[in-house]
Each structure stands twice: as C-alpha cells, then as structure tokens.
Amino acid sequence: MGPAAPKLTPRRSDGYTVVEFIVPRQPPAFLVVTLPPVCRDNTNSANVQLDVQLGRLRLRNPIAVASGTFGYAREMAGLVDLARLGAILPKTITRDPRPGNPPPRSVETTGGMLNSIGLNNDGLDEFIQRKMPYLADLGTAIIVSIAGRTREDFVDLATRLDGVPGIAALELNVSCPNVSGGVDFGTNPDACRQVVAGVRQACSLPVLAKLTPNVTDVALIARAAEEGGADAISLINTCLGMAVDWRRRRAILGNVLGGLSGPAIKPIALRAVYQVARAVEVPVMGIGGIATIDDVMEFLVAGATAVQIGTANFYNPTASMQILDALPTALAELGARSVADVVGTMTERK
C-alpha cells in the first residue's frame, strides 16, 4: 500500500483549510484533518506598513534597542545596520558624572543576568558634546534616557536637552532598581506624575516614562504617568534580585542587589504590558526578555505598540536585525497590513 495522497479542498469561510488524506485501499479510507489558517488573506509581506506612532513620536518600525544594552551605538556599528532600527536608546545619562556601583557589577543567572551597574556615565555635558554628534548622524530616532535623584534633576536635564540636534524623544528612567533614590519615582504614583509633568512642561520633546515591575500595581503607576503627560509608557525595567555565593556566604554583586533581565523575566513583562495597555490610552513600549520574532509578536498582540531589545544584544548582537528581517512576514501571516492591525488583538479566554 502506497503513502496517503493529500487532497486540498477549498478554504472555508472561517479561513480554515480541510485536508483529505485518501488512503489507497479497498474500499478507500479517508482521514480528514482541519488545519488552522496561516493567513486570512493574500497580504504581501512587502506591503506591510511597519511605522508606529508613540504619542508625538513616530518611528519607522517598532524595533528599538534598550538603554544600557547598546552602549552609545558606536560599539555596535560593525554588527548592526543602525539606520534600520526604529530607535536607539543610548546608555542612561545623569546631570553629573557617576562612577557607578562597586564591582562585581554583573553575574549570569539561569535564563538571564543580574546587573548592578549603578548608571555610571560621564554626565550631561560630555554626552551632548561627544556622544550626540555621532548619534545624530545615524539616520534613526534617538531616544535619550535620563535619570535623576530629584524632580529638579529630571527637569534640568530635559530643559538642557530640548533643542539639541538629533534627539527625537526622552525616556525617563524612574525605575532603576540598583541606584539609591532611583526607583522612588517609579513606585509612588504622585511622585511619578509630578516628574513626568515637570519634564513635559520643561521641554517640547515627546516623553516616555519607563516603569518598574517592582510594585504591587503597575497599572496605577502607568495611569499616573499618563496623567502627567507621558506620550507613552515603557515597561518593564529589570526585576530586583540577588545572587549568593553560599561557600563564601556572601552576595556575589558588589552592591548586593541588582536588576534581573533576559528571557527569565519575559512572562512578567508580558503580564505588565497586558495590564497597562488596558489601563491607559497612551501607547505602550514593551521591554523584557525579547530576543526573537515570536517574542516581538507576543508583545504586540498583548498590547505593545513597539518593543525594545535589551539583554539579547549581549549574547546575540544581531538579534534586532534578525527580528526586522522576519517582522513583515510575521505580520502578513496574521493578515495584517500594518503593525497597528495586531496591537492588543489578543483574545480573552472564556
């Protein structure tokens, strides 16, 4: 008896295809399998619109690289076509130079990594004079990540960055878990609202508020940021964690505590994006454990308008390029003609 010969019948109105396997025997036997639709129409991936809108900020595509994982972009120029990215978020800057936390500053963990860098950077003046001229010529949106210990720090940074050539938007890092005072604004709704409002009043640039998952109700903080005038919400920052050397009976990180990132936190990030996207009217930018096109599509259907690639840049520097190559086909697979067609389309389980 030879192999079963498949016979395709016309696609049903609900998009499903019926496959009949005709087994050559007397009398003929039929095995009918119903396959789910791969694509609900004839969308050509070449015609899919990749541009997205985050409040007043428009990006050519939804794939950005996260602050703290991409240096100041120059370090990645030999591996990544920087102009293809939707946005680049350079390393977070503060008003004054910071030496960062004592070493060790990072440690690999199961499914991710812990870091306690402490926002070491050369300060605002050095960034404007030496970093921004290069970044401004890359041909993509530069979203500058800023952090401060006080509301006045954030406002001063925003005021001085407003008008600097090449800056497309600001991301307010109110959520770094390994800097003294750095997480306070992201855990208190009133403080978060005041910081965002102060920055919004001080400059004309679009404002993204980057939130921490280390709270009881992240949607509450997101609503406060929206009320303060945020154009979009970025989440999540890292999850507070630690690593222990039990033989020496001491913490491995010099700062004891650090921020967990990588694939291990993706379920937490998806949950946060899902909750926040349903709690606010402004767009959401998803962050946390994103490394593949499947990860990106999960975040989009859960409610993210755009995403940031973070820890994956360390172990797979070309992850963003691989994702961009695959994105049009993945969107077309869902019958989408634009990114917006799939954002927040996840169906509720009954």
Task: Decide the pairing of beta strands 57-59 and 63-65.
Answer: unpaired
| pLDDT tens digits in sequence order for the chain, 350 residues long | 454 444 444 443 344 444 444 444 444 443 444 434 444 455 678 799 999 999 999 999 999 999 999 999 999 999 999 999 999 999 999 999 999 999 999 999 999 999 999 999 999 999 999 999 999 999 999 999 999 999 999 999 999 999 999 999 999 999 876 565 556 799 999 999 999 999 999 999 999 999 999 999 999 999 999 999 999 999 999 999 999 999 999 999 999 999 999 999 999 999 999 999 999 999 999 999 999 999 999 999 999 999 999 999 999 999 999 999 999 999 999 999 999 999 999 998 76
Q: What is the CA radius of gyration of the chain?
A: 23
Residue 265 near residue 299, CB atoms below 8 Å = no
Domains of the chain, CATH where assigned: 5-35 (no CATH), 45-341 (3.20.20.70)
Any idea what the Cα angle at residue 84 is, between residues 69 and 168, rounded to 5°?
70
Which residue is catalytic, options 39, 176, 203, 239?
176
**In terms of Cα–Cα distance, which of 18, 24, 19, 20 is closest to 3?**
24
Q: What integer pLDDT is reported at residue 182 of this predicted model? A: 54
pLDDT of res. 45: 82
In angstroms, the CA 90 to CA 146 distance is: 10
The answer to whether residues 94 and 147 touch, using CB atoms and an 8 Å cutoff, is yes
Decide if 204 contacts 182 (C-beta within 8 A): no
Query: Is 192 among the catalytic positions?
Result: no
pLDDT given at position 46:
78
* 289-306 exposure pattern, b = at least 16 Cβ within 10 A, e = fewer: bbbbbebbbbbbbbbbbb
